[in-house]
Structure 1
Amino acid sequence: MSRIVVTGSSTGLGLMAAGLLAEQGHQVVLHARNTARAEDARRALPQAETVVIGDLETVAGAKEVAASVNALGRFDAVIHNAAVGYREAHHLTTEGLPHVFAINTLSAYILTALIDRPRRLVYLSSGMHHHADANLNDILWKKRRWNGSEAYAESKLHDAMLAFAVARRWKDVFSNALEPGWVPTKMGGAGAPDDMAQAHLTQAWLAAGEDPRADVTGEYFYHLKRRTANPQAHDPALQDRLIAICEEISGVTLPK
């Protein structure tokens, strides 16, 4: 059995994936943004080992979450699930960053860099990433008029880029990305048409490490099947540039 931490798991797909993993006998640690959400998560999944609390909107908060995870000991897998959605208004964090970028892109980078390296890394992307551009020249939305849908889509492209960059750099890690489908979660909205029963299965499968078919790296999945990702996600030059930007903004270096 594996020991797995799932970010953004106080509700929605993160909680669903954590619940499935716990049912399968894995040891699961949840993550919540604040104490109230942590209490909700404990009630929803009492068999979880614990709940790590921390707001991923800030660099300091992401660092604190990484430190709290490391204090619990080594994990076999990390599911990078935490995100905000595509209907977000323009909002700057206390550090002056667009909060969609801060949570969806930068925090995933910081946690990847600072959490003791697990055997498996799983990043939640989105089908919306297929038609996005990485926009690394304006990743902080200083030149463009804000569009929440575009900001979300490019942040999910960044997550796939990060997954594949890690796969290229860390040969001892299975690092993959996936899209769960457009499902009727709080983020997806009540009218989302995809199958909720399928939406949490792939991330749990990739993290559990019980199926040899999941022993792959640098791949993109949808409902347990490989799918072609946006070509930009596989571009090493773009990957390296994204990592350099995240390193500069956060002051956190991705280990070699």
Structure 2
Amino acid sequence: MVTGASSGIGLAAAEQFAARGSQVVVVGRSEQRLAVAQDRVRAAGQGREPGLFRADFERLADVRALAQHLRDTYPKIDVLVNNAGQRVPAYRRTVDGNEATMQANHLGHFLLSGLLREQLRGGRITTTAVRPAPNVRLDPDDLTGSPQRYRSVPAYQSTKAANVLFAMEAARRWPDILSVSFHPGLVRTNIGADTPLRYFFRYAPFLTGPHTSAARLLRLATAAPGTLHNGGFYSDAGTRHQRLPALFTADNAARLWAASEQAVH
């Protein structure tokens, strides 16, 4: 089950899963792009029909409806790929009262993962993060921030740090689910579509294609369990990062989990 599967890394990963013979569920927020993605994933799977669901992670009601659909349709989920993400150019609150970047990139996936807890027993969760900058900041006790302090790129980096901390704490709380996060590399995607960064992510010559990053994701989603560290963060080279900034502690992971529970209920 792949979120953010209507374009970029998510779509490429869905195609690669389908080519392996997997039953794939693609999730995205654009009906038009989802229809195109459905055709591409079906073709990659040699005609096998993928599951399809439209959900906007800026609406927790959409996330709950997605989880209910999956529980009703699939008694077992082998792999949940938490991949949907966005950069928001200016501060805004969602209908649920959360800062939009944090909700779309972290809180929505936090809620979805918890709602699918039973279906994921014995499976794994792979979360798309980014390599944390040495000065990355995240206050686990303040996930809403303020309009005055909001900056798009630092806010995005904070949500990606939350993805890493989520994987760490999920591994501790749910030891029967293998949970990892990873850095996909600098990828040519639509992630900066509504910001000046769209030119960078569209035209920079050193960016990798989404299929390369999707292959890295696929390796983490299918590797033998004994070869991966539960809760680990993996680089674009496929190796586990042993040293992370001081933010990434067990205490901060637990505090973020508690704050996230409050934010989604």
Q: Is the 8 A contact 1:163 1:218 kept in 2?
A: yes
User: What percent identity do the matched residue pairs reach?
Assistant: 24
2:170 is aligned with what amino acid? V
Distance 1:72 1:130 in 2: 42
- How many residue pairs match? The answer is 245
1:184 paired residue number: 188
- Using the size of structure 2 for normalisation, the TM-score is 0.85
Please say if residues 160 and 233 of structure 1, whose CA atoms lie closer than 8 Å, have aligned partners that are also in contact. no
Q: Structure 1 or 2: larger strand share? A: 1
Give the distance between the partners of 1:109 and 1:236, measured in 2 at CA.
17
* 1:124 partnered with 2:128: yes
Given that residues 28 and 55 in structure 2 are in contact (C-alpha distance below 8 angstroms), is that contact kept between their aligned partners in structure 1? yes
**1:9 matched to which residue of 2?**
5
Q: Distance in 1 between matches of 2:89 and 2:147?
A: 18
Q: Which residue of 1 aligns with 2:196?
A: none
* Matches of 1:72 and 1:34, distance apart in 2: 22
After superposition, what is the alpha-carbon deviation per residue over 1:32-72, rounded to whole angstroms, capped at 9, x for unaligned?
A: 21433321221222245211221111221111111122222
Q: Which structure 2 segments of 5+ residues have no match?
A: 193-200
Deviation, structure 1 residue 194: 3.4
SS of alignment partner, residue 84 of structure 1: coil
AA matched with 1:31: V
* Equivalent pair of 1:201/1:224 in contact (CA under 8 Å): no
How far residue 15 of structure 1 moved from its aligned partner, in angstroms, is 0.5
- Matched residue, 1:147: 151
User: TM-score scaled to structure 1, two decimals?
Assistant: 0.87
Q: Is the 8 A contact 1:130 1:157 kept in 2?
A: no
Cα distance change, pair 203–139 in 1 and its aligned pair in 2 (3 A): same
- Name the SS for the 2:212 alignment partner: coil
d(CA) in 1 for partners of 2:203, 2:262: 39
Q: Is the 8 A contact 2:91 2:147 kept in 1?
A: no
Secondary structure of the residue that 2:81 maps to in structure 1? strand
Q: For residues 229 and 65 of structure 1, what CA distance do their matches in structure 2 show?
A: 36
Of 251, 254, 257, 1:237 maps to 251
8 Å Cα contact 1:129/1:156 also seen in 2: no
2:198 alignment counterpart: none
Tell me, yes or no, if structure 1 residue 24 matches structure 2 residue 20: yes
Amino acid at match of 1:145: R
- Equivalent of 1:221 in 220, 234, 258: 234
Q: Which residue of 2 aligns with 1:200?
A: 214
